[in-house]
Structure 1
């Protein structure tokens, strides 16, 4: 059905990309107002478009080709069950339940959970590895050989409307700052009660965790809105609309879906937010995160529906920024024990969304380059194992079984190079927050303007118009300067 819709809509894209000459395109773009950048982007991808018959053939073949491979991967891995001994009892479970065990207080259970996961994928590496190799080769054959993209990651960069240089610089800064997280993991070993973390212990809880404070939904809401209001009453007013119009579903009930999300059906409709609020401090941060997404949508609501949505690299800006504002507000209202627990969770999140995702992307770059030269599944695992050692240095012991972990990451199969968007969006938000801490209230209007732009401008241009150059390492380093300070602050608690 999806390919049928795409084929029906191809005529405009192909007309604009192929049949309108440069002179007329420039004239139309100049007079298109807020849609100028939208049309510019359409012209940008024109150089990678094929003829209409060729595009239709690709769309049709993808259904039984690349899309089918991804479905087969999902079907195989979703059927996996895992056996783990928990407190002397053998339990069989799916991956979602297994994932909760890697945060268990018992190190034997954590290790058993990881070993069950990795052994299952290692036992099936032949077919799962072959699927990945064919996905990578398809990415190359269509994207580079047929369409003419410069390199594998450029395909995703063009899709995100960001320059190769910007992503290269961002990834290089992430790689350079791996020691920031390594220092944190060395601290965490002491909190977990071991001399040195094993990779199995990465998400282990601290032995001396403070008694967790509970927050009613009204208390959590007040904390979030107060944090936003301290920064900008206008931003807080955007957030208040979600609550005032009863566009939030927070209660726990049987049959309700897990997780949290924010949905904006149309620009002029106040966003809807779903969370499962249990009263834990992490739920308050989840509330801030999703309300941040809502704020972004409301801020850009006056833009055309074609450009109101923020592009993928900017999609996490307001959500992460709102969490940072919340922590900045709440950290002075809690005990040192609570602060240590909260800060540890926060740095864990920074690692998961910035450090880990950037190294995922560095692995993908190497894997795509090597698979094009014909390598084995074991070779891919060796590349991944080397990547882990660069990422963790001497801070964490990496056992050989983690070499196959790459095959457990669905994003590598579903959407190559998607992972850097998490690093980009979260590090961007942290860097913007650091700018706010340096500039104070003068930064508020800049931040509001960035959100209000939605997806109407290319990220580099949008930020540069406000004096922020994301093609330079200095900008990204400011985000890591903030994270480094949090790691140092945690060491003092």
Structure 2
């Protein structure tokens, strides 16, 4: 078996050279398709045959695939070096091109949402196969759609408006350098590198790492706060005032094709279960021989671990493959494909975007994965997480580009499930002492991906309301501190420097109300994993079927077919019962 090395990805499958005539040809071809599509406008008729209608949808698929290929290239190139002027300039150029193409094909979207009567819409949907939910979902937006000239103005202004604000936030925060004293030396680090120190065994190091990050954001809170307020006001002005959505979060829910009731149930159950994690934090303080955890100590490794284990990249990749393979050889093959095609960017470099992501551009192209691999245990789990996304996309690769991608709440299911498979695999290979450490880390992670994300969403609901009424950055920070106090109760001591932590969370800027998708995906994955533990290999086809659906079915409907009612609080509570059992198991081990 070949050895996997830290490397940069190969984007030549998308674009060989952005300065070449071949790239220009790709753009010209795309513009030609969009121009040709514009001629359909005069032929639109609600009474058209389903064959004519499907032909139009196939043209949209073709345009989307070509746009995603070149737009995706620009975005991935920029992520791998946010400080490159060439990459920034190409990104701006492609955003503008994307907006122009969207404007050219927009008329069909508006026609479908507003000009087709219900009986003809039902007839066309009935005969559209896997695209029926996509078309149904679009009809949902009908009452929020504007006229074509208005939609064009919004599309055009987004490039220099909300998109530019997000880009400005990324450019500023990616350029931050953190100076921290380690031993006798002062080291300059990226956010990714300094974040490792919040998991240090030394309490003082953890505190210094947090303070170094938070101080940088605090020094820039005026600008970062101004950017955030304008993003929120843009969201409100367009969504509530102009389009008429019920609430800011409702815009995301409808976009996610999920009911408000489902998300209300989810957040209510998360809020109700905050004591589950509070018990864990009290327990963790005992493990660490501390009277009480400080917020700085939240991700401290447990005392049983003298020195954090370091994982070689090659070994980590093979461990994740093995974990997926034990569940399903088909999923392992999907994961291997990402590496075989050199679609992974794993090395750490200045200017490279922080964090990790998986990007699926079209069903025909294997997904791309960005990592910042430092060899820590959490990096191995991040690898499993992102490969889970890649596996999800490939399971749905036979779908149309219009429905390949799962709605946001389901988008975190396969990634989380892959982490659970890795945890299960690793716990078979380690001692009881290591198991105690890993279980403690696992509960840390469940906190970070369920409770923390739910409370992020609860904060956003409050912040959007506050900013809509006019407020200051300091008031937003006070709301954030209150939010922390509610989720931790008396189990963790919170210092005032965490008041600006909200400005460190890119999701608030990039995709408002995205965070509940993590809570949703994690609790759903826990429920599916428990079923796998009960049913064994007979569960595998059912799981792959859920992934293969992509976005072709509404989440409530898709999961109901597999016996899961996600509108009920009872369903979400089952996920927390699993977490509570883990906390009890840990208390028996300590």
**Following the alignment from structure 2 to structure 1, what is the Cα–Cα distance between the partners of residues 184 and 367?**
47
Q: 1:247, 1:271 within 8 Å by CA — same for their partners in 2?
A: no
Q: Which moved more, 1:86-95 or 1:470-479?
A: 86-95
Q: CA deviation at 1:24?
A: 0.8
Q: Name the counterpart of 1:243.
A: 336
The within-5 A match list for 1:431-446 is 431-440=527-536, 443-446=539-542
1:110 counterpart = 2:206 = yes
Q: CA deviation at 1:122?
A: 2.9
Q: 2:121 aligns with which of 17, 25, 28?
A: 25
**Following the alignment from structure 2 to structure 1, what is the Cα–Cα distance between the partners of residues 152 and 463?**
29
Q: CA deviation at 1:251?
A: 10
Q: CA deviation at 1:192?
A: 2.8
Q: Name the counterpart of 2:391.
A: 295
Residue aligned with 2:566, SS: coil
Q: 1:389, 1:398 within 8 Å by CA — same for their partners in 2?
A: yes
Q: 1:418 aligns with which of 511, 514, 532?
A: 514
Q: 2:148 aligns with which of 49, 52, 55?
A: 52
1:353 counterpart = 2:446 = no
**Following the alignment from structure 1 to structure 2, what is the Cα–Cα distance between the partners of residues 218 and 75?**
32
Q: CA deviation at 1:30?
A: 1.1
1:101 counterpart = 2:197 = yes
Deviations 1:188-218 (A, max 9, x none): 2233332211111112222320666677778
The change in CA–CA distance for 1:436 and 1:475 in structure 2 (over 3 A counts) is farther
The change in CA–CA distance for 1:285 and 1:75 in structure 2 (over 3 A counts) is closer
Q: Which moved more, 1:387-396 or 1:434-443?
A: 434-443
Q: CA deviation at 1:242?
A: 4.3
**Following the alignment from structure 2 to structure 1, what is the Cα–Cα distance between the partners of residues 383 and 212?**
33
Q: Which moved more, 1:462-471 or 1:312-321?
A: 312-321
**Following the alignment from structure 1 to structure 2, what is the Cα–Cα distance between the partners of residues 125 and 255?**
26
Q: CA deviation at 1:440?
A: 4.8
**Following the alignment from structure 2 to structure 1, what is the Cα–Cα distance between the partners of residues 257 and 273?**
25
Q: 1:312 aligns with which of 396, 408, 420?
A: 408
Q: 1:385 aligns with which of 446, 469, 481?
A: 481
The within-5 A match list for 1:355-370 is 355-370=451-466
TM-score by length of 1: 0.89
Q: Name the counterpart of 2:56.
A: none
The change in CA–CA distance for 1:274 and 1:252 in structure 2 (over 3 A counts) is closer
Q: 1:247, 1:273 within 8 Å by CA — same for their partners in 2?
A: no
**Following the alignment from structure 1 to structure 2, what is the Cα–Cα distance between the partners of residues 222 and 75?**
34
Q: Name the counterpart of 1:63.
A: 159
Residue aligned with 1:239, SS: helix
Q: Name the counterpart of 1:84.
A: 180
The change in CA–CA distance for 1:133 and 1:249 in structure 2 (over 3 A counts) is closer
Q: CA deviation at 1:357?
A: 0.9
**Following the alignment from structure 2 to structure 1, what is the Cα–Cα distance between the partners of residues 372 and 510?**
27
Q: Name the counterpart of 1:38.
A: 134
Q: 1:249, 1:275 within 8 Å by CA — same for their partners in 2?
A: no
The within-5 A match list for 1:157-236 is 157-209=253-305, 224=320, 227-228=323-324, 230-231=326-327, 235-236=328-329
Q: CA deviation at 1:36?
A: 0.5
**Following the alignment from structure 2 to structure 1, what is the Cα–Cα distance between the partners of residues 405 and 370?**
19
Deviations 1:101-159 (A, max 9, x none): 32233222222222233233333333332332222222111100110100010111111
Q: 1:186, 1:395 within 8 Å by CA — same for their partners in 2?
A: yes
The change in CA–CA distance for 1:29 and 1:5 in structure 2 (over 3 A counts) is same
Q: Name the counterpart of 2:109.
A: 13
Q: Name the counterpart of 2:494.
A: 398
Q: 1:461 aligns with which of 543, 553, 557?
A: 557
Report how many aligned residue pairs link the two structures: 490
* 5+ residue gaps, structure 2: 1-95
**Following the alignment from structure 2 to structure 1, what is the Cα–Cα distance between the partners of residues 285 and 561?**
44
The change in CA–CA distance for 1:333 and 1:169 in structure 2 (over 3 A counts) is same
TM-score by length of 2: 0.76
Q: 1:360, 1:419 within 8 Å by CA — same for their partners in 2?
A: yes
Q: 1:166, 1:472 within 8 Å by CA — same for their partners in 2?
A: yes
Residue aligned with 1:102, SS: helix
Q: CA deviation at 1:341?
A: 2.1
Q: Name the counterpart of 1:322.
A: 418
Deviations 1:321-340 (A, max 9, x none): 12212323432332111212
**Following the alignment from structure 1 to structure 2, what is the Cα–Cα distance between the partners of residues 304 and 361?**
31
**Following the alignment from structure 1 to structure 2, what is the Cα–Cα distance between the partners of residues 287 and 453?**
24
Deviations 1:279-316 (A, max 9, x none): 76555544543443343233222222321222221112
Q: 1:210, 1:341 within 8 Å by CA — same for their partners in 2?
A: no
The change in CA–CA distance for 1:125 and 1:428 in structure 2 (over 3 A counts) is same
**CA RMSD after TM alignment:** 2.9
Q: Which moved more, 1:239-248 or 1:142-151?
A: 239-248
**Following the alignment from structure 1 to structure 2, what is the Cα–Cα distance between the partners of residues 369 and 252?**
39
* 5+ residue gaps, structure 1: none
The within-5 A match list for 1:337-348 is 337-348=433-444
Residue aligned with 2:304, SS: coil
**Following the alignment from structure 2 to structure 1, what is the Cα–Cα distance between the partners of residues 470 and 241?**
16
Deviations 1:35-93 (A, max 9, x none): 10011111111221100111111122223333333333334444444443332444454
**Following the alignment from structure 1 to structure 2, what is the Cα–Cα distance between the partners of residues 252 and 80?**
20
**Following the alignment from structure 2 to structure 1, what is the Cα–Cα distance between the partners of residues 194 and 307?**
25
Q: 1:81, 1:95 within 8 Å by CA — same for their partners in 2?
A: yes
Residue aligned with 2:502, SS: helix
Q: Which moved more, 1:55-64 or 1:451-460?
A: 55-64
Residue aligned with 2:244, SS: coil
The change in CA–CA distance for 1:230 and 1:181 in structure 2 (over 3 A counts) is same
**Following the alignment from structure 1 to structure 2, what is the Cα–Cα distance between the partners of residues 432 and 220?**
25
Q: Which moved more, 1:481-490 or 1:469-478?
A: 481-490
Q: 2:230 aligns with which of 123, 126, 134?
A: 134
